[in-house]
Amino acid sequence: MSRVSVPYHMKGTVALQVGDMRNSQGRPGVQVIDVTFPSTKPFELQEIMFKNYYTAFLSIRVRQDTSMHTPAKWVTCLRNYCLMPDPHSEEGAQEYVSLFKHQMLCDMARVLELRLILRQPSPLWLSFTVEELQVYQEGPKSPSMTFPKWLSHPAPCEQPTPLLEGLPDPGRVSSEVQQMWALTEMIRASQTSTRIGRFDVDGCYDLNLLSYT
């Protein structure tokens, strides 16, 4: 399935204070990044790609266009997705991540805005974020999916000419092969005819020898 990159504008990171998330250096353990799409109409989000930088958990919320009579609403589509399995090691700390729409908890149609909520509860990693963010929507369908059915079964007058000229007719070759096979079977079944054939050959050979003596 094809995909198309969606241009976006990433707002500045907002640090939040959530209960006991404050570490000894006084830095909060939750950050929020808002992503807007000013030049794009509401679209169906297909995939999100980014490079993690010491973020332990990721939640995603989207603002969707519902209808003309009701205001757009925020919906949580991913909650506490683990990016670092072990907070005391650097596993997954700087890896590329791809999230597809089938991994989300809600429908990703008619997206207007995206909100990334980053969480790092460990005081070992004071700086965390996401980098190289890419947002994709579904691209145009492959042309092969729109071909009419009659193209796969062309009429005799519309069939392409053979690439190689001078090839024998398959039907004629088949009939000749069958005739040869039938003749071979008849010869094998008739032991008398094969003996007579050998006798005639030997007889001619003996007569030739006698003519030289």
pLDDT confidence of 174, banded at 50, 70, 90? low
DSSP helix/strand/coil, 187: helix
Cβ contact 47:100 at 8 Å: yes
What would you report as the CA-atom Rg of the chain, rounded to the nearest whole angstrom? Answer: 39
CA distances from 80 to 55, 83, 104, 154, 203 (A): 11, 9, 12, 55, 100
First to last CA, the chain: 90
DSSP 104: S
DSSP 211: H
Residue 151, both tokens: 């193209």
- 66: pLDDT strictly greater than 90: no
182-198: average pLDDT: 65
Q: Is the pTM of this model over 0.85?
A: no
Q: What is the structure's pLDDT at 2?
A: 76
* Weakest mean pLDDT among 19-28, 35-44, 118-127, 170-179: 19-28
Instruction: Please give the residue that has the higher pLDDT: either 136 or 185.
Output: 136
- 170: pLDDT strictly greater than 70: no
DSSP 66: -
Spatial distance between the Cα atoms of 142 and 1, rounded to a whole number of angstroms: 8
Q: What confidence tens digit (pLDDT) does each residue in 47-58 have?
A: 999 999 999 999
Q: What is the structure's pLDDT at 76?
A: 93
DSSP helix/strand/coil, 170: helix
Residue 46, both tokens: 């297909």
Cβ contact 45:73 at 8 Å: no
